[in-house]
Amino acid sequence: MAVSVRAAATPLDVGRIRADFPILSRKVHGKPVAYLDNAATSQKPRQVIDAMSRVFEDHNANIHRGVYEFSETTTAEFEGAREKVARFLNAASAREIVFVRNATEGVNLVAYSWGRDNIKAGDRIVSTVLEHHSNFVPWQQLAKDVGAEIVMIDIDDDGRLRRDQFTAALKGGRVKFVAITYTSNGLGVVLPAKELVAEAKAAGATVLVDAAQAVPHQKVDVRDLGADFLVFSGHKMLAPPGSGAVWAPEATFERMRPFLYGGDMIMKVSVEKTTWNELPWKFEAGTSSYVDAIGLGAAVDYLEAVGMDKIHEHELFLTGYVLPRLEDVPGVTIYGPKTLDDRVGVVSFNVEGVHPHDVAQIFDREGVCVRAGHHCNQLLMAKLDVPATTRASFYLYNTTEECDRLIGAIQAAKKVFGV
Ligand SMILES: Cc1ncc(COP(=O)(O)O)c(C=O)c1O
């Protein structure tokens, strides 16, 4: 099938953007680095690095506890970052944003705090073969613990979710919970999340959307989406590892018991009884990764200044550039949709006769960083009937030259392995 190309040019001044990312001027094996592993983690702009360094150099102190200037400044920046994230997602208030270390912790928070009180024996949990292990294993384990049943939804040959199966699963009854990804990290396919959420909610289910690959790459509006929970990681959107959030409406969080217990999440402690802090701190036990959260706030500022719609368009431009060129290479199999209507800049492929790890190693010699493996998507790999794929994934700082180097690296790998 021939691929369709949409965006004819990038709306971004990529040269200017690249100048903000010190690591992009590094060389690897004597060649300029072409960093194409953004679905795994993103690089960080100077603005984020500086915002974090400023805390350490200027006013570092633990948050919420001190009544001296350092602590008050750090607390203000930490809570300011929460306000920024709330605005970025169009949340109704900052109380709807609970900071966590990553999307994985966010899913586990929901599975423990909401799931264990609400999902009972005989209930059904709907999930999909596109899920990252982070949005499948917690539900699988919960189902095992309480005697619930997991119902899996498949994909079609292009990697799109089988809507017929999804509808049938909901019609089958007893569906208490739906755990779906917004965007597949393995195939780059974007699910019709708003429609799926509406359908699931109409069937009486509670819905969690894993937006780890969506929030960094397109405008996500939690009020428009209408889900019950949404999670994402900061490190995939220019922020440091250790930052991320769970979004839920206040009323939902209010009804849930805490996830972790200890300092900062309490209101009053006595031997007989402990009461919980207000939202969102009820879910933020112990010293938060406050510098990482402040870095996340700076990343949100950066992304908003560039513009999420432009970033999305740029990634589609690169994907539209690379897909036909990849398709022209004999022996290359591309997984996922070949059109740009419902995908982001994640391109998974295999080179016939060469293991993905060998492909990635040859790429490394060319200075091209891609991911080879199952991408924490073993359910998807089983469906595709491959042990692994090679995955290139783009972000706002990638260029068509880097895409050309990707194609060149495939040619180099083919030559080395004589295929
Ligand atoms: C779709 C999706 N969900 C969840 C995760 C887990 O993210 P983290 O490892 O930051 O918790 C990832 C990471 O690759 C992902 O791509």
Going residue by residue through the chain, which has 419 residues, state the pLDDT in tens, using 9 for 90 and above.
444 445 679 999 999 999 999 999 999 999 999 999 999 999 999 999 999 999 999 999 999 988 999 999 999 999 999 999 999 999 999 999 999 999 999 999 999 999 999 999 999 999 999 999 999 999 999 999 999 999 999 999 999 999 999 999 999 999 999 999 999 999 999 999 999 999 999 999 999 999 999 999 999 999 999 999 999 999 999 999 999 999 999 999 999 999 999 999 999 999 999 999 999 999 999 999 999 999 999 999 999 999 999 999 999 999 999 999 999 999 999 999 988 999 999 999 999 999 999 988 899 999 999 999 999 999 999 999 999 999 999 999 999 999 999 999 999 999 999 99
Question: What gap in Å lies between CA 187 and CA 189, rounded to an integer?
Answer: 5
DSSP 8-state class, residue 114:
I
Pocket test for ligand 1, best of 213, 232, 296 (most atoms within 8 A of CB): 213
Find the catalytic residue in 52, 91, 376, 380: 376
Q: Which domains are assigned to the chain?
A: 14-32+307-417 (3.90.1150.10), 49-304 (3.40.640.10)
Integer-rounded Cα radius of gyration of the chain = 22
Looking at residue 397, its amino acid is: Y
Q: Which helix (H) or strand (E) holds 360?
A: helix 356-365
Q: How many CA atoms lie within 13 A of 36 on its CB side?
A: 34
Q: Does the reported pTM lie above 0.85? A: yes
Q: How far is the CA of 350 from the centre of ligand 1 (A)?
A: 22
Q: How far is the CA of 246 from the centre of ligand 1 (A)?
A: 13
- Ligand 1: residues within 6 Å at CB? 39, 102-104, 132, 134-135, 181, 185, 210, 212-213, 233, 235, 376
Number of alpha helices (DSSP H) and beta strands (DSSP E) in the chain: 15, 17
Q: Are strands 274-276 and 266-269 parallel, antiparallel or unpaired?
A: antiparallel
Hey, what are 81's tokens? 């970052």
Q: Which helix (H) or strand (E) holds 369?
A: strand 368-369
